[in-house]
Amino acid sequence: MSTMDEPTPGGISAGAYESAQQNPDFIELRGRYRRFAFPMTAAFLSWYATFVLLSVFAADFMGTLLWGNISIGLVIGLGQFVSTALITWLYVRHANSRLDPLAEKLCHELEGSL
Protein backbone atom coordinates (compact mmCIF):
# COMPACT_ATOMS: atom_id res chain seq x y z
CA MET A 1 0.00 0.00 0.00
CA SER A 2 1.39 3.36 -0.92
CA THR A 3 1.35 6.14 1.64
CA MET A 4 0.42 9.77 1.12
CA ASP A 5 3.98 10.75 0.20
CA GLU A 6 4.95 7.87 -2.02
CA PRO A 7 4.62 8.77 -5.72
CA THR A 8 2.53 6.54 -8.01
CA PRO A 9 4.11 5.22 -11.23
CA GLY A 10 2.88 8.39 -12.98
CA GLY A 11 5.07 10.50 -10.68
CA ILE A 12 2.15 12.11 -8.86
CA SER A 13 1.57 11.14 -5.23
CA ALA A 14 -1.53 9.20 -4.27
CA GLY A 15 -2.42 11.98 -1.88
CA ALA A 16 -2.37 14.51 -4.72
CA TYR A 17 -4.90 12.45 -6.65
CA GLU A 18 -7.16 12.14 -3.63
CA SER A 19 -7.18 15.85 -2.98
CA ALA A 20 -7.66 16.57 -6.70
CA GLN A 21 -10.72 14.33 -6.59
CA GLN A 22 -12.23 16.70 -3.98
CA ASN A 23 -11.26 19.83 -5.94
CA PRO A 24 -14.41 21.78 -6.97
CA ASP A 25 -12.94 22.17 -10.47
CA PHE A 26 -12.65 18.40 -10.79
CA ILE A 27 -16.17 17.83 -9.50
CA GLU A 28 -17.38 20.35 -12.07
CA LEU A 29 -15.40 18.57 -14.84
CA ARG A 30 -16.84 15.20 -13.90
CA GLY A 31 -20.33 16.68 -13.83
CA ARG A 32 -19.94 18.29 -17.25
CA TYR A 33 -18.65 15.02 -18.70
CA ARG A 34 -21.33 12.82 -17.17
CA ARG A 35 -24.25 15.19 -17.78
CA PHE A 36 -23.39 15.04 -21.48
CA ALA A 37 -22.20 11.45 -21.99
CA PHE A 38 -24.84 9.56 -19.99
CA PRO A 39 -28.04 11.10 -21.41
CA MET A 40 -26.56 11.03 -24.91
CA THR A 41 -25.74 7.32 -24.53
CA ALA A 42 -29.30 6.65 -23.37
CA ALA A 43 -30.59 8.63 -26.36
CA PHE A 44 -28.64 6.88 -29.11
CA LEU A 45 -29.23 3.44 -27.59
CA SER A 46 -33.00 4.11 -27.45
CA TRP A 47 -33.01 5.36 -31.04
CA TYR A 48 -31.09 2.25 -32.13
CA ALA A 49 -33.46 0.01 -30.14
CA THR A 50 -36.39 1.72 -31.87
CA PHE A 51 -34.95 0.76 -35.24
CA VAL A 52 -34.25 -2.83 -34.18
CA LEU A 53 -37.59 -3.44 -32.46
CA LEU A 54 -39.62 -1.87 -35.27
CA SER A 55 -37.72 -4.03 -37.77
CA VAL A 56 -38.64 -7.12 -35.78
CA PHE A 57 -42.17 -6.41 -34.58
CA ALA A 58 -43.43 -3.95 -37.20
CA ALA A 59 -41.85 -5.39 -40.33
CA ASP A 60 -44.83 -4.40 -42.51
CA PHE A 61 -44.64 -0.80 -41.34
CA MET A 62 -40.86 -0.67 -41.91
CA GLY A 63 -41.33 -2.24 -45.35
CA THR A 64 -43.82 0.42 -46.47
CA LEU A 65 -42.41 2.18 -49.52
CA LEU A 66 -42.19 5.96 -49.28
CA TRP A 67 -40.66 7.10 -52.57
CA GLY A 68 -40.02 4.63 -55.36
CA ASN A 69 -38.29 1.67 -53.71
CA ILE A 70 -37.17 3.48 -50.57
CA SER A 71 -38.87 1.96 -47.51
CA ILE A 72 -39.55 3.60 -44.15
CA GLY A 73 -37.10 1.13 -42.55
CA LEU A 74 -34.32 2.20 -44.90
CA VAL A 75 -34.96 5.84 -44.07
CA ILE A 76 -34.86 5.14 -40.32
CA GLY A 77 -31.72 3.04 -40.90
CA LEU A 78 -30.05 5.91 -42.73
CA GLY A 79 -31.31 8.13 -39.90
CA GLN A 80 -29.00 6.12 -37.62
CA PHE A 81 -26.08 7.31 -39.76
CA VAL A 82 -27.27 10.91 -39.47
CA SER A 83 -27.75 10.70 -35.68
CA THR A 84 -24.32 9.10 -35.24
CA ALA A 85 -22.68 11.94 -37.17
CA LEU A 86 -24.68 14.53 -35.22
CA ILE A 87 -23.84 13.10 -31.79
CA THR A 88 -20.16 12.82 -32.74
CA TRP A 89 -20.15 16.50 -33.77
CA LEU A 90 -21.99 17.59 -30.61
CA TYR A 91 -19.63 15.64 -28.37
CA VAL A 92 -16.48 17.01 -29.98
CA ARG A 93 -17.87 20.55 -29.65
CA HIS A 94 -18.77 19.92 -26.00
CA ALA A 95 -15.38 18.34 -25.22
CA ASN A 96 -13.37 21.08 -26.91
CA SER A 97 -15.17 23.97 -25.26
CA ARG A 98 -16.42 22.60 -21.94
CA LEU A 99 -14.11 19.72 -20.96
CA ASP A 100 -10.62 20.33 -22.35
CA PRO A 101 -9.88 23.73 -20.74
CA LEU A 102 -10.82 22.45 -17.29
CA ALA A 103 -9.01 19.12 -17.77
CA GLU A 104 -5.84 20.89 -18.93
CA LYS A 105 -5.94 23.26 -15.96
CA LEU A 106 -6.25 20.37 -13.51
CA CYS A 107 -3.58 18.38 -15.33
CA HIS A 108 -1.11 21.27 -15.13
CA GLU A 109 -1.83 21.77 -11.45
CA LEU A 110 -1.11 18.09 -10.77
CA GLU A 111 1.89 17.60 -13.02
CA GLY A 112 3.29 21.06 -12.37
CA SER A 113 3.57 20.33 -8.66
CA LEU A 114 6.19 17.62 -9.30
Partner 1 sequence: MSALSAGLLATDVLAQEASTPGSPGVNITIFGLFVAVTIVIVLRASKFNKTATDYYAAGRSFTGRQNGVAIAGDYLSAASFLGITGAIALAGYDGFLYSIGFLVAWLVALLLVAELLRNTGKFTMADVLSFRMRQRPVRTAAAISTLTVSFFYLLAQMAGAGGLVSLLLGVTSDIGQSVTIAVVGVLMIVYVLVGGMKGTTWVQIIKAVLLISGAAVMTVWVLSKYGFNLSNVLGAAVDNSPEVGEALLAPGVLYGGSTLTQIDFISLSLALVLGTAGLPHVLMRFYTVPSSKEARRSVVWAISLIGLFYLFSLVLGFGAAAIVGPDAIEAAPGGQNSAALLLAFELGGTLLLGFISAVAFATILAVVAGLTITASASFAHDVYANVIKRGKFAADGEVRVARITALTIGAVSIVGGILAKDQNIAFLVALAFAVAASANLPTILFTLLWKRFNTRGSVFSIYGGLLTAVTLIVFSPVVSGSPSSMLQGVDFSWFPLNNPGLVSIPLAFFLGWLGTVTSKEYNAEKWAELEVRSLTGAGAEKAVVH
Q: Is the dihedral of CA 91, 94, 96, 98 positive or negative?
A: negative
Q: Is 50 in the site for partner 1 (CB under 8 A)?
A: no
Measured CA to CA, the distance from residue 25 to residue 11 in angstroms comes to: 21
Measured CA to CA, the distance from residue 106 to residue 104 in angstroms comes to: 5
Chain residues that interact with partner 1, rule: CB under 8 A: 1-2, 8-12, 14, 17-18, 20-21, 26, 29-30, 33, 36-37, 40-41, 44-45, 48, 51-53, 55-57, 59-60, 62-63, 65, 67-71, 73-74, 77, 80-81, 84-85, 87-88, 91-92, 95, 100, 103-104, 106-107, 110-111
